[in-house]
Chains A and B, each alone.
Chain A
């Protein structure tokens, strides 16, 4: 009977809408990138198609890297739709709040750092590392979602940008804990990729930040 109620809109994101639906009598998440009226249709279609294919590929490649992601059941390029496993759990964004004890928070962030490390070590950058794109399931596993802006690359630059985005997301959404969280992320990261590589990426992050607008460290000209 509860079939009647589906599909249900789970989340209307900026890029795509997520629905809960049935697919071959299995409860699934349908991710549909709908057309964006603001940009030229030609450009829009190109972006949506590219990201749909890319995301599907990276979601399964990430598994090979040892990073939990939803399993893909079906991809329809024409409608920019991916049908994937429904993940139970809580967005990390909602967890990193005051109510989490410091130790648990640190552990969670270190775990996230490890997973990012695994991705990078395998040659993938996520492209949109924010705490809304990570889900903690009841078994304590962290699942990464939303690989639409990801890339297969081994460049230190891309890795640096990836972690810079993580840092900035922590700062804007969890500014109270941003410093300790990012430190824990980098620790977990170093545990996987090794001290030397982590340091290299860390230096890169500094360089990327200096390249941005209005960074105090950029130049000492005062």
Chain B
């Protein structure tokens, strides 16, 4: 009892896809550092092995910068958290290896964090939302989740590809290139803002789920026909897919009767999507929250924060059992930190 407790200081490593991120937080939720480095493919989408190689190459620099920004030494850490899944195998394994080494070397506990839960928890921390319906839209995920009887549940999701993936593939098809700090979605949004004419595309809502792959094929087909203005196509694609995802989000709000909405993931940066979700939140007297971009994109801080929450409930993982989980679904996660 008289034992002095060292303040919790957690380093979190995020490496599910193209970002390698390191965040350092304390148990008050104070962000001491949040550094990341994004892999930029020369052509096409993310090549898992190449992305993993990138992560390994930049890891020591990112870690060093994080320690510098936080103004602490590795020995000040009390906890290591890593994104255990879901994500790309080679990328996850690179992050996990670094996390295991740090935990073993420093002799401190290791916590495996579910990436999707990380997004929700950091979103709640940043916006002050307590019990929201979360729309998480990124290159790898499109899901609507809310907490219900002891777990985060998935109320709606994509039946095939993620919304961010749909936009990215289309953007690449029409010749847009990803640049440092300018995601493909941002370039697409700029083009879409100049579009005026709505071109008919498939609108596929099934219950609380959506399907995007057929719609993407149709949009690419229209582009290749050469008969349509590119700006109009971008505009129509955005309007269509955002309307679909907004519709199912509204269903989830009506169904769960939650009084808060949280928008997160890389696609949350899109102003048009933000405005649509804001409209339905208002209509159902729900408070609209959008996670600031730095913490809406994949980041290490969200892993560190969720690691702190989990560890405070006595959760940690022995190194020999810390295998990555490529398809670890949100609703399988035990979340004792929520009463």
The chain B residue with its CB closest to the CB of A216 is B327
CB within 8 Å of A: which B164-208 residues? 198, 203, 205-208
Of the listed stretches B4-12, B145-153, B217-225, name the one at the interface; the rest are far from the partner chain.
Answer: B145-153
Q: Within the assembled complex, what's the spacing in Å between the Cα atoms of A175 and B239?
A: 34
Q: Nearest chain B CB to A184's CB is how many angstroms away?
A: 20
B207 interface neighbour in A13, A165, A222, Cβ under 8 Å? A165
Against B, the Cβ 8 Å flags (1 = close, 0 = not) of A179-194 are 0000000000000000
How many chain B residues touch A (CB < 8 A): the figure is: 49
A39 touching B239, Cβ below 8 Å = yes
Of the listed stretches B37-45, B68-76, B247-255, name the one at the interface; the rest are far from the partner chain.
Answer: B247-255
Output the residue of A129, A172, A215, A216 with the most chain B CB within 10 A: A172
Q: Is A40 an interface residue (CB 8 A)?
A: yes
A contact residues around B289 at 8 Å (CB):
none
Q: Within the assembled complex, what's the spacing in Å between the Cα atoms of A214 and B208?
A: 18
B328 interface neighbour in A40, A171, A214, A218, Cβ under 8 Å? A214
Q: At the interface, is chain B mostly helix, strand, loop or mixed? A: mixed
Q: Nearest chain A CB to B135's CB is how many angstroms away?
A: 13
Against B, the Cβ 8 Å flags (1 = close, 0 = not) of A83-111 are 00000000000000000000000000000
Q: Is B264 an interface residue (CB 8 A)?
A: no
B254 touching A221, Cβ below 8 Å = no
User: Known: A127-B207, A171-B331, A222-B323. Is A40-B239 also a contact (CB below 8 A)?
Assistant: yes
Q: Nearest chain B CB to A172's CB is how many angstroms away?
A: 4
Q: Is B209 an interface residue (CB 8 A)?
A: yes
A222 touching B246, Cβ below 8 Å = no
A43 interface neighbour in B89, B154, B239, Cβ under 8 Å? B239
The chain B residue with its CB closest to the CB of A215 is B327
Q: Is A132 an interface residue (CB 8 A)?
A: yes
Of the listed stretches B119-127, B155-163, B301-309, name the one at the interface; the rest are far from the partner chain.
Answer: B155-163
B327 touching A38, Cβ below 8 Å = no
How many chain A residues touch B (CB < 8 A): the figure is: 37
Q: Nearest chain B CB to A191's CB is how many angstroms away?
A: 24
B154 touching A172, Cβ below 8 Å = yes
Q: Within the assembled complex, what's the spacing in Å between the Cα atoms of A128 and B207?
A: 4
Of the listed stretches A24-32, A52-60, A205-213, name the one at the interface; the rest are far from the partner chain.
Answer: A205-213
B326 interface neighbour in A43, A168, A221, Cβ under 8 Å? A221
B contact residues around A43 at 8 Å (CB):
198, 203, 239-240, 243
B86 touching A214, Cβ below 8 Å = yes
Q: Within the assembled complex, what's the spacing in Å between the Cα atoms of A168 and B156?
A: 9
A14 interface neighbour in B198, B250, B328, Cβ under 8 Å? B250
The chain B residue with its CB closest to the CB of A128 is B207
Q: Nearest chain A CB to B19's CB is how many angstroms away?
A: 18
Q: Is B312 an interface residue (CB 8 A)?
A: no
B276 touching A38, Cβ below 8 Å = yes
B157 touching A213, Cβ below 8 Å = yes
User: Known: A14-B251, A222-B89. Is A212-B158 also a contact (CB below 8 A)?
Assistant: yes
B207 touching A169, Cβ below 8 Å = yes
User: Known: A14-B251, A171-B331. Is A129-B207 also a contact (CB below 8 A)?
Assistant: yes
Q: Within the assembled complex, what's the spacing in Å between the Cα atoms of A222 and B276?
A: 40
User: Known: A14-B253, A127-B206, A208-B159. Is A214-B329 also a contact (CB below 8 A)?
Assistant: yes
A contact residues around B157 at 8 Å (CB):
212-213
A161 touching B327, Cβ below 8 Å = no
Q: Is B134 an interface residue (CB 8 A)?
A: no
User: Known: A43-B243, A127-B206. Is A175-B153 also a contact (CB below 8 A)?
Assistant: yes
A37 touching B149, Cβ below 8 Å = no
Q: Nearest chain A CB to B260's CB is how many angstroms away?
A: 16
B contact residues around A36 at 8 Å (CB):
243, 247
A contact residues around B243 at 8 Å (CB):
36, 38-40, 43
A47 touching B203, Cβ below 8 Å = yes
Output the residue of A14, A127, A149, A216 with the most chain B CB within 10 A: A14
Q: Within the assembled complex, what's the spacing in Å between the Cα atoms of A169 and B144?
A: 13
B160 touching A165, Cβ below 8 Å = no
Output the residue of A37, A39, A43, A173 with the most chain B CB within 10 A: A39
Against B, the Cβ 8 Å flags (1 = close, 0 = not) of A155-175 are 000000100010011011101
A149 touching B207, Cβ below 8 Å = yes
Q: Within the assembled complex, what's the spacing in Å between the Cα atoms of A149 and B205?
A: 8
Against A, the Cβ 8 Å flags (1 = close, 0 = not) of B311-335 are 0000000000001101111010000
Other than the known A39-B239, A214-B86, what 4 A-B pairs have Cβ atoms closer than 8 Å?
A14-B254, A175-B148, A175-B153, A213-B162
30 A-B pairs with C-beta separation under 8 A: A14-B250, A14-B251, A15-B251, A38-B246, A39-B239, A39-B276, A40-B198, A43-B198, A132-B255, A149-B205, A149-B206, A161-B206, A165-B206, A169-B207, A171-B331, A172-B148, A172-B153, A172-B154, A172-B331, A173-B255, A175-B153, A211-B159, A211-B160, A212-B157, A213-B143, A214-B86, A214-B329, A216-B329, A221-B89, A222-B89
The 4 closest A-B pairs by CB, nearest first: A39-B243, A165-B207, A14-B254, A38-B276
